[in-house]
């Protein structure tokens, strides 16, 4: 198969073409189903014969929506998916990211009139697509209101990042390519405290005073996998907080640390919310 649509899809494995076309590839039945059911712009579906049989209902629903379905060989799918074990389904989707100002307005609407808890993950120079996608998935699971990919962070539409997000890319607002300083200022003006996850300095996440502050609207800033957040980025935050290490491990990887931090916020926010509803 050498159709123009296939050639266009192949090019989307390169970031420059993704940016030019504002389109990306979502591989696997979960990502394809989430893209389709969550209202993303799906323009083409590529499917192998075995996958068409396994996922008959999904393929039929996509075809019924008027989206072109292209049956391809396993070799072509391997080339498109660029993963060791492709699952036989791959969709071309339009970008889903939103402007930072839109996230700020939504967060401000939560915080200002009702003082409801808000939670955002802010990625600064996060380069590993698997880690970034896992943080996005974790933020979605924790009920965060947005994930911001700032500065030199990986492209959220990188194939590995999309796969690692397990469909979460389509569930919550994602901001891509904003400057970190601008993101910090904008989120702070929207009513969030900026907390830097920094293993080298700051009070421990276990500190009761830290946990009390996490009850408020919070944006967690996470840094590079190898060197974390440099001092000049930590200085942008309202507070650095360290994830405690009780055993002999040198550190947690980024995705694990992000899960600990985000769920620490959620736990405190939810406990406070229940207490407030009870009036105690």
* pLDDT tens digit sequence for 128-187: 999 999 999 999 999 999 999 997 899 999 999 999 999 999 999 999 999 999 999 999
The arithmetic mean of pLDDT across residues 199-219, rounded, is: 90
- Integer-rounded Cα Rg, in Å, for the chain is 20
271 by DSSP, 3-state: which?
A: helix
Q: Which residue has the higher pLDDT, 31 or 278?
A: 31
- Higher pLDDT: 165 or 280? It is 165
Q: Classify residue 187 as exposed, middle or buried by CB count within 10 Å of its CB (0-12, 13-18, 19+).
A: buried
> What would the DSSP string read from start to end of 202-217?
S-BTT-HHHHHHTTS-
Secondary structure class of 200 (helix, strand, coil): coil
pLDDT in tens, 223-233: 998 888 999 99
Q: Which residues contact 178 (CB under 8 A, 6 or more apart)?
A: 100, 148, 149, 150
The torsion angles phi and psi of 119, rounded to 5 degrees, stand at -145, 130
- Collapse the DSSP code of 242 into the 3-class scheme (helix H, G, I; strand E, B; otherwise coil) and give the result: strand
CA distances in angstroms from 60 to 8, 33, 53, listed in the order given:
23, 12, 10
pLDDT tens-digit series, residues 70-103: 999 999 999 999 888 999 999 999 999 999 999 9
| pLDDT higher than threshold 90 for residue 3 | no
Asked if 215 and 116 touch (Cβ cutoff 8 Å), the reply is no
Q: pLDDT tens digits for 146-161?
A: 999 997 899 999 999 9
pLDDT at 273: 65
194 or 245, which is more confident: 194
pLDDT in tens, 20-57: 999 999 999 999 999 999 999 999 999 999 999 999 99
Is a pLDDT exceeding 80 seen at residue 12?
A: yes
Sheet with 23-27: list strands edge to edge. Answer: 23-27, 89-94, 42-47, 69-71
CA angle 261, 262, 263 (to 5 degrees): 95
Q: In which residue are the tokens 């440099």 written? A: 230
Whole-angstrom distance, CA of residue 150 vs CA of residue 177: 5
What is the reported pLDDT for 84?
85
pLDDT at residue 197 above 70? yes
Six token digits for residue 221: 């800033």
Q: What is the dihedral of CA 39, 40, 42, 45, to 10 degrees?
A: -90
Cα(59)–Cα(54) distance, rounded to whole angstroms?
9
| Residue 161 · residue 154 · CB < 8 Å | yes
Q: DSSP E strands: which ranges in the chain?
A: 23-27, 42-47, 69-71, 89-94, 119-124, 146-150, 174-178, 193-197, 218-222, 239-241
Residues in the chain: 280
β pairing state of 218-222 and 119-124: parallel
As given in the structure block, the two tokens for residue 6 are 């296939």
């Amino acid at each position: 198969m050498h159709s123009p649509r296939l050639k266009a899809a192949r090019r989307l494995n390169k970031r420059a073409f993704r940016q030019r076309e504002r389109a990306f590839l979502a591989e696997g039945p979960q990502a394809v189903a989430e893209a389709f059911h969550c209202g993303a712009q799906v323009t083409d579906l590529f499917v192998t014969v075995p996958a068409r049989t396994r996922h008959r209902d999904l393929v039929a629903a996509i075809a019924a929506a008027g989206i072109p379905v292209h049956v391809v060989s396993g070799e072509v799918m391997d080339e498109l998916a660029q993963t060791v074990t492709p699952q036989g389904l791959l969709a071309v989707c339009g970008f889903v990211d939103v402007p930072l100002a839109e996230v700020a307005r939504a967060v401000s609407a939560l915080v200002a009139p009702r003082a409801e808890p808000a939670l955002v993950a802010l990625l600064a120079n996060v380069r590993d697509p698997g880690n970034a996608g896992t943080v996005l998935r974790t933020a979605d699971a924790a009920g965060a209101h947005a994930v911001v990919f700032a500065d030199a962070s990986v492209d959220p539409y990188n194939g590995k990042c999309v796969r690692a997000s397990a469909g979460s890319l389509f569930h919550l607002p994602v901001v891509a390519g904003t400057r970190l300083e601008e993101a910090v200022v904008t989120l702070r003006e929207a009513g969030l405290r900026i907390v830097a996850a920094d293993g080298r300095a700051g009070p421990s996440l276990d500190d009761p005073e830290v946990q009390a502050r996490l009850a408020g609207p919070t944006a967690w800033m996470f840094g590079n996998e190898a060197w974390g957040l440099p001092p000049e980025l930590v200085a942008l935050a309202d507070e650095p907080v360290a994830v405690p290490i009780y055993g002999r491990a040198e550190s947690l990887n980024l995705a694990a640390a992000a899960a600990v931090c985000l769920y620490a916020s959620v736990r405190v926010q939810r406990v406070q919310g229940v207490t407030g509803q009870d009036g105690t």
